[in-house]
Amino acid sequence: MPLDDSIIGQGVYTPREASRLIGTTPQNVLRWTRGSGPTEPLWKAHYQFIDDSTEISFSDLIELRVVSGLRRAGLSLQSIRFAISVAQEQFGIERPLSSRDFKTDGVEILMDSVEDDGEYVSLSRKSPGQKVFRQIVDQSLRDLEYEGDYVARWRPEPYNEVVLDPRRSFGEPLLDEFGISTGTLFAEFKEFGDVQYLSKIYEIPVSAIRKATAFEQSLEKQAEKN
């Protein structure tokens, strides 16, 4: 099936690719964005059907990253769903988990909504809920760059030379300065095991090769935990 033109510049990720980037499982990605059985999705993801596979957008990827962080902290899907609906209905934020407004007001929106949804449980016995929410939101959003109201790029910390930009290579992780896929470099590093060789054939510094491979290795370790 040909690519839908509407997704150009929006990023393209399979559930497996998305789960690897945000540290969860493909099953969670599908559950949160497509629903499971009688359970509705948290939001309607920008799904495309390409070559018999399903793909989501960059905005969906960023929102999934926030959900993953909230779930790891113990927040229920019901509470997250309620927080999203509060942001949409009371604050008029169409895509709350990937908007600039959420970056500035997200903690307050979350706290207000989960405390009113009847399902709130303290996220930490040692830390007040507000502090925990602040940490989650900050960790999820601090390495994002915005244009207008919505996220435009993700520079994963501490690998700031790496960028995910939906307008470049469909949002694939790249070495920003050189436009080369970190996945491609890592695959060739595993084959040849020689950063000096890769530096020579790609004409980029050894330090950049090392940063790309370190980023991809971090994703592999994260995937093993999941």
pLDDT band at residue 48, thresholds of 50, 70 and 90?
low
CA atoms within 13 A on the CB side of 140: 30
Cα separation of 106 and 157, whole Å? 20
Determine the pLDDT at residue 127. 41
> Percent of the chain having pLDDT more than 90?
44
Provide CB contacts within 8 A for 96, sequence distance 6+.
83, 84, 87, 88, 102, 106, 109
> Percent of the chain having pLDDT more than 70?
79
Between 7 and 163, residue with greater pLDDT = 163
In the sheet with 162-163, reading across from the earlier edge strand, the strands are 162-163, 174-175, 180-181
Tell me which DSSP letter residue 113 carries.
H
User: How far are the Cα atoms of 35, 80, 116, 211 from residue 119, in angstroms, in the given order?
Assistant: 20, 10, 8, 42
Mean pLDDT is highest, among 69-73, 82-86, 156-160, for: 156-160
Report the candidate in 181, 180, 170 with the shortest Cα–Cα distance to residue 219: 181
Report the candidate in 77, 56, 50 with the shortest Cα–Cα distance to residue 66: 77
Mean residue pLDDT of the chain comes to 81
pLDDT band at residue 113, thresholds of 50, 70 and 90?
low
CA angle (98 as vertex; 176, 84 as ends), nearest 5: 160
Report the candidate in 128, 136, 78 with the shortest Cα–Cα distance to residue 107: 136
Token output for 143: 């390495």
Between 130 and 11, residue with greater pLDDT = 11
Report the candidate in 46, 22, 24 with the shortest Cα–Cα distance to residue 154: 22
Distant-in-sequence contacts of 144-151, Cβ < 8 A, 24+ apart: 144/62, 144/103, 146/100, 146/103, 148/100, 149/99, 149/100, 149/101, 150/59, 150/95, 150/98, 150/99, 150/100, 151/58, 151/59, 151/62, 151/98, 151/99, 151/100
SS3 158: coil
Does this model's pTM top 0.85? no
Token output for 79: 């509470």
Determine the pLDDT at residue 39. 81
Phi (first) and psi of residue 127, to 5 degrees:
-120, 140
